[in-house]
Amino acid sequence: MPELPEVEIAARLIGAAVAGARVESTLAPGVNALKTFDPPLHALDGTRLTGVGRRGKHVVVENDTGLVLLIHLMSAGRLQLYERRAGLRDRTSRVLLRLDDGRELRLREFGTKQAAWAKLLRADALEDEEAIATLGPEAWPDPPPFLPLLGRQPRPLHTLLRDQRVIAGIGRSWVDEILWEARLSPYKRGADLSEEEAAALRDATVTRLGEAIAHYEATLSLPLPDKLPLPLKVHRHEGQPCPRCGTTLEAVHFEDYVIAYCPACQTDGRVLKDRRLSRLLK
Ligand SMILES: [Zn+2]
């Protein structure tokens, strides 16, 4: 669930708070969450953290000895900084960095799946790491023009914008907001974008992601809540009036995600076929 704005605010707030702090000890209680063994996690012991960066939806914890802890939160992971250490019975703990001032930087994961991961890498190996090397350009703050990026693609915009190899940082929540902002159908194909539409889509991307980050800057502080209140207008708002035109927002349900959109603003008034409904009606 955490996408570019959520990872960005976590990186900013936590990065500012831990810069200069010394790591006293490290622990990886989560089975298989730590995907690397050389260098070992204990190589961080005694080092000083220098900040926290972001690449796409990845978090990069930086330190003063040229190591980086690359983290992917996947759908249910959270990076949080606490004043006190976790009890060892906290089953959400995956990777813990204990700071010598008593605080603890904690990769946690909610739910039963263990999908969030961390890799300890040498900083000069980060760019070659597959998860980073395959990322497209950052969706925010200054992505390249969208027509060259999306305009030759036969896939629908809803799929393209969530493809991290095409553009990095957007997922299931913000894609709905961006397409609504640009007044484009989730099913319009990249190859069918006009120059004006591509420019509007790029603007919408920068605007909506930027607004979300500004909202978080104004409302959040540490410790970050387990569930961030996402400032969404369209996603998860199906059945409610479109904030722009008042038409009822519709949705298409898939097994593990939902596309929400405004038929009047985005699909020339057409209500898209909802597979869940048609399956229920059979
Ligand atoms: Zn509308």
Asked if residue 132 has pLDDT above 70, the reply is yes
The pLDDT tens digits of the residues spanning 76-121 come to 999 999 999 877 788 899 999 999 999 999 999 998 888 999 999 9
pTM for the complete prediction? 0.94
Which residue type is seen at 59?
Answer: V
Q: What does the alpha-carbon distance between residue 241 and residue 250 come to, in Å, rounded to a whole number?
A: 9
Distance 19 CA to ligand 1 centre (A): 44
Q: Residue 180 Cα, ligand 1 centroid: separation in angstroms? A: 8
Q: Please give the distance, rounded to the nearest whole angstrom, from the Cα atom of residue 94 to the centre of ligand 1.
A: 42
Residues within 5 A (CB) of ion ligand 1: 242, 244-245, 247, 262, 264-265
Question: From the CA of 230, how far away is ligand 1's center (Å)?
Answer: 20
Bridge-based pairing of strands 258-261 and 250-253 is antiparallel
Nearest alpha carbon to residue 176 among 254, 237, 264: 237
Whole-number Å distance between alpha carbons of 243 and 249: 9
With H, G, I as helix, E, B as strand and everything else as coil, classify residue 12: helix
Measured in Å, residue 3 CA sits from the centre of ligand 1 at: 24
Mean pLDDT for the chain? 94
Give pLDDT tens digits for 167-182. Answer: 999 999 999 999 999 9
Separation between Cα atoms, residue 227 and residue 182, nearest integer Å:
27
Measure the CA–CA gap between 162 and 71, rounded to whole angstroms.
19
The pLDDT, as a whole number, for residue 282 is 44
Reference 27, options 95, 92, 83; nearest CA is 95
How far does residue 45's CA lie from ligand 1's centre (Å)?
Answer: 53
Q: How far is the CA of 235 from the centre of ligand 1 (A)?
A: 13
